[in-house]
């Protein structure tokens, strides 16, 4: 069965099949290759794309912007002080207005409900550029990077270390369970992912053949890992939790001992960025030769481009 994503939202990878995820990664690899050769197909010529940002961003904002321009579309940045979303105007009304003018909407903010409402009311494709719960476009870039490195996703041992209940941990667990990755969360018990989400992802692994382990034992978690991944200890909006998180997560810092404990020299280090060095990761690991963090950052653009082209061109 051939994949067609025309008109589709990307709110969470829970809504996508393995075939659809692989289709986006394949399309991203193709568009990346073409861009390196100077070939621009202008798959979104004359389209207008709204970029709503309630939270700050470097990679996601720049990826959507550059991808739009590469494909012939116009990106319009709408920051939190530029529009009335959810304050002086309901999300439903803003969604319907934008839907009359634009061809697609990216939303980065706090609530998953808001991105769902934009999708429900706008009548155009809506893409989640990060919420408190999820970060699906980051996972697509991460999987493209893993596949470029290892040539496959199935059976890769992917270990996420740190805040096990944040948007990155959730999104990676969802994506991994869909594509057949063996996913491990190493986190203190206080920060384990919600059981409901783990159960849901375990159901996805029954189809994909992947697996999920949640543990507080870092040594067991990282043994034989192909990928070691971490993220900030305090996500955007949680800055007041800093002291508590440092206490809980200091034993989970990714340092050269952790990289050695995998027992493999081929293990790669990944981070969605921005990174706070000497907190969740040491400078040594971040700058070391196992780190692929800037390939990952570049791949945000190619995969976001593929998501938009898939939804708009089909």
Query: What is the Cβ-side half-sphere exposure of residue 307, based on CA atoms within 13 angstroms?
Result: 33
The Cα 215–Cα 184 span in angstroms is: 8
Q: Reduce the DSSP state of residue 185 to 3 states and report it.
A: strand
Span 49-68, contacts to ligand CP by CB under 6 A: 57-60
User: With contact defined as beta carbons under 8 Å apart, do 229 and 172 qualify?
Assistant: yes
- Is residue 231 among the annotated active site residues? yes
Closest CA to 226 of 187, 188, 270: 270
Span 138-197, contacts to ligand NVA by CB under 6 A: 166-168
The Cα 120–Cα 128 span in angstroms is: 13
Q: In angstroms, what is the minimal distance from the CB of 232 to ligand NVA?
A: 5
Segment interacting with ligand NVA, rule: CB under 6 A, options 14-22, 176-184, 199-207, 229-237 = 229-237
**Binding flag, residue 232, ligand NVA (CB under 6 A):** yes
Question: Among 156, 184, 272, 301, which residue interacts with ligand NVA (rule: CB under 6 A)?
Answer: 272
User: With contact defined as beta carbons under 8 Å apart, do 123 and 103 qualify?
Assistant: no
Residue 85 is classified by DSSP as B
Pairing of strands 157-161, 182-186: parallel
In this structure, what are the phi and psi dihedrals at residue 208, rounded to the nearest 5 degrees? -85, -25
The catalytically annotated residue of 108, 245, 271, 302 is 108
Report which secondary-structure segment, H or E, holds 212. Answer: strand 211-215
Q: In angstroms, what is the minimal distance from the CB of 131 to ligand NVA?
A: 9
The catalytically annotated residue of 231, 234, 271, 302 is 231
Cα distances (angstroms) measured from residue 214 to each of 111, 130, 182, 202: 25, 23, 11, 11
Q: In angstroms, what is the minimal distance from the CB of 146 to ligand NVA?
A: 17
Would you say 94 or 166 has its CB closer to ligand NVA? 166
Q: In angstroms, what is the minimal distance from the CB of 30 to ligand NVA?
A: 26
| Partner in contact with 168, chosen from ligand CP, ligand NVA, none, beta carbon below 5 to 8 Å by kind | ligand NVA
- Is residue 300 among the annotated active site residues? yes
The Cα 202–Cα 204 span in angstroms is: 5
- Is residue 272 among the annotated active site residues? yes
User: With contact defined as beta carbons under 8 Å apart, do 314 and 6 qualify?
Assistant: yes
Binding pattern for the stretch 1-40 against ligand CP, x by CB under 6 A and - elsewhere: ----------------------------------------
The catalytically annotated residue of 147, 271, 272, 302 is 272
- Is residue 96 among the annotated active site residues? no
Q: In angstroms, what is the minimal distance from the CB of 62 to ligand CP?
A: 8
The Cα 34–Cα 36 span in angstroms is: 5
The dihedral through the CA atoms of 125, 130, 136, 139 has a sign that is: positive
In this structure, what are the phi and psi dihedrals at residue 311, rounded to the nearest 5 degrees? -70, -30
Question: Among 52, 78, 130, 304, which residue interacts with ligand CP (rule: CB under 6 A)?
Answer: 130
Residue with nearest beta carbon to ligand NVA: 235
Would you say 60 or 267 has its CB closer to ligand CP? 60
- Is residue 138 among the annotated active site residues? yes
Would you say 168 or 270 has its CB closer to ligand NVA? 168
Enumerate binding residues for ligand NVA (CB under 6 A).
130, 166-168, 231-232, 235-236, 272
What residues are labeled active site?
Answer: 108, 135, 138, 231, 272, 300
Residues that bind ligand CP (CB under 6 A): 57-60, 130, 138, 272-274
């Amino acid at each position: 069965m051939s994949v067609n994503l025309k008109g589709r939202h990307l709110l969470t990878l829970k809504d996508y099949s393995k075939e659809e995820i692989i289709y986006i990664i394949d399309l991203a690899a193709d568009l990346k290759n073409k861009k390196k050769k100077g070939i621009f197909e202008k798959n979104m010529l004359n389209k207008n794309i709204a970029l709503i940002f309630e939270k700050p961003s470097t990679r996601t904002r720049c990826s959507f912007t550059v991808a739009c321009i590469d494909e012939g579309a116009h990106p319009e940045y709408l920051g939190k002080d530029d529009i009335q979303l959810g304050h002086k105007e309901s999300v439903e009304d803003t969604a319907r207005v934008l839907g009359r003018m634009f061809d697609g909407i990216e939303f980065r903010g706090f609530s998953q409900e808001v991105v769902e409402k934009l999708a429900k009311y706008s009548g155009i494709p809506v893409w989640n550029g990060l919420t408190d719960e999820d970060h699906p476009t980051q996972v697509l870039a991460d999987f493209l990077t893993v596949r470029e490195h290892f040539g496959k996703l199935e059976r890769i041992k992917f270990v996420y270390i740190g805040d096990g209940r944040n948007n990155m941990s959730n999104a990676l667990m969802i994506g991994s369970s869909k594509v057949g990755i063996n996913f491990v969360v190493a986190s203190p018990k206080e920060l384990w992912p919600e059981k409901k989400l783990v159960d849901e992802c375990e159901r996805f692994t029954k189809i994909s053949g992947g697996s999920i382990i949640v543990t507080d034992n870092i040594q067991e978690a990282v043994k034989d890992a192909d990928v070691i991944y971490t993220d900030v200890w305090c996500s955007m909006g949680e800055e007041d939790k800093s002291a508590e998180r440092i206490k809980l997560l200091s034993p989970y810092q990714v340092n050269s001992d952790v990289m050695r404990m995998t027992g493999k020299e081929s293990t790669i280090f990944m981070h969605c960025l921005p990174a706070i060095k000497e907190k969740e990761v040491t400078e040594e690991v971040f700058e070391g030769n196992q780190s692929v963090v800037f390939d990952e950052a570049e791949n945000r653009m190619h995969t976001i481009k593929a998501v938009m082209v898939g939804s708009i061109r089909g």
